[in-house]
Amino acid sequence: MIVVDSALVVATLLIAIGIYGLLNSKNVIRVLLSSEIILNAAILLIFSMSALVGKSYTPLIFSVFAIGMALTEVVVAFASVILYYRQKGSLEVD
């Protein structure tokens, strides 16, 4: 259980760092990367909690969907960023 507990602590700290990154930057890419940190923390949390309960299939399948959707989200977000950059010439948001 020590491994699971340390994973929970790491996930919590990663969420804190992600929130700090979201609040402390106006750069669109930095905001996207901070949300990716929170996504990684959430996936780590899913597996830690599932190990606690003793389930193996549900977290695996849910995380596969989460990672697939994260890939889609990054590409869609990046398309928006490219359009924003073409219009404004900068990656900073007001």
Partner 1 sequence: MLFSILALATALFIVNSKNVFYSAVSLAFLGISVAVLIADINPAAYSLYSAFHLILYVGATVVFLSISLVMFRGLEVKEVKTPWAPSLAIVAAIAFFAVLVLSTSSITPSGTPEQLNLAVVGEKLISQYWFPTFILIVALLTTMIEALSLARRD
Where do contacts with partner 1 occur on this chain (CB under 8 A)?
Answer: 1, 3-4, 6-10, 12-21, 23-27, 29-30, 32-34, 36-37, 40, 43-45, 47-49, 51-57, 59-61, 63-65, 67-72, 74-76, 78-79, 82, 85, 90-92
Residue 1, CA distances (Å) to 9, 12, 35, 49, 51 in order = 13, 17, 28, 11, 9
Judged by beta carbon, residue 49 or residue 87, the one nearer partner 1 is 49
Q: Residue 10 Cβ, how far from partner 1 at the closest point, in Å? A: 5
Query: Which residue in 7, 72, 73 sits closest to 35, CA to CA?
Result: 73
Question: Smallest distance, Å, CB 87 to partner 1?
Answer: 14
Residue closer to partner 1, measured from CB, 53 or 87: 53
Which two structure tokens, joined as six digits, stand for 92?
Answer: 């900073």
Helix then strand count (H, E) for the chain reads 3, 0
